[in-house]
Amino acid sequence: MSLIVNFYEGKDADHRGCCLSDILQWNANKLESAHDYIQIVFPLPEQSGVQWSAPIINRRVFDAFRARPDLRDRLRDSFKKILWFYGFELVEKDNTYMVQKGLNWDAHRKHWDVSFDHNHLRITRIIRCLRVLGLEHEAQSFYDALESSAQRISSRSHEYWRRASSRTLNLRPDLEDDDIDGDNDLSIGPKFLREYEELQKLIADSEKPEGSVDTDKAAEKYVEDKKGDEGDRVAEGNLDTDLETKEV
């Protein structure tokens, strides 16, 4: 099984020997100063531009998190920790998770609400990771909280966060608009994410009054396409390397 899954199951550690349970106990200074934990705590389907050995989300990891609530719950624990670091908190109401300002807001917003900071790239990564691994609602709520509270963020960072929160999962946030055919372009990106988005589109179309899509056949095709594709590591570039940060 993937290092990412083993790490989230508590069966494996990162390259420095740190387990997830260790990282979740770190204080704010440690979360700020350490630059090589974010890649495994919030992995991406793209290779890191700096830490090339960092594991990436492939089809097997994607399917595991989508199928297993326990993995998503553990990912949510990681999300809660990084929200605390940024001055937010995750609250549950009516079986829905929402991001709001935390009690430490005034003291911790300094970690990200500035004109330029490596945490802006971390935030892009976090939003994308959450969406890919099945916490779409939490990712959207995080984006909404950022947009409603940010005061000093550059337009460039705002745009990256928007892309991470709204593009189809196969599209990296660092792809410029001229490089793709809109935010729903399914012609590029990791194969397993393109297939997932194609299936979602078929399902959405079938729910329209005029829809006549055979969703069972579409799902069968998705499962069939998965066979022999366990090593899918399509990266097609590195996330946000043009921001010249050591976080990636």
CA distance 139 to 141: 5
pLDDT-derived band of residue 34, with 50, 70 and 90 as boundaries?
A: very high
- In the chain, the percentage of residues whose pLDDT exceeds 70 is 84
What DSSP state is assigned to residue 174? T
Residue 235 has pLDDT above 50, yes or no: no
Q: Tell me, what's the pLDDT at 220?
A: 57
Dump pLDDT digits (tens) for 59-82: 999 999 999 999 999 999 999 999
Q: Outline where the chain has alpha helix (H).
A: 3-9, 20-23, 28-33, 38-41, 59-67, 69-86, 105-108, 118-132, 136-149, 155-166, 191-206, 215-226
CA distance 50 to 31: 18
Residues in CB range of 31: below 8 A, 6 or more apart: 81, 82, 85
Query: Taking a C-beta distance cutoff of 8 angstroms, is the pair 196, 209 a contact?
Result: no
Query: Taking a C-beta distance cutoff of 8 angstroms, is the pair 86, 118 a contact?
Result: no
CA distance 35 to 14: 13
pLDDT-derived band of residue 214, with 50, 70 and 90 as boundaries?
A: low
Q: Tell me, what's the pLDDT at 240?
A: 44
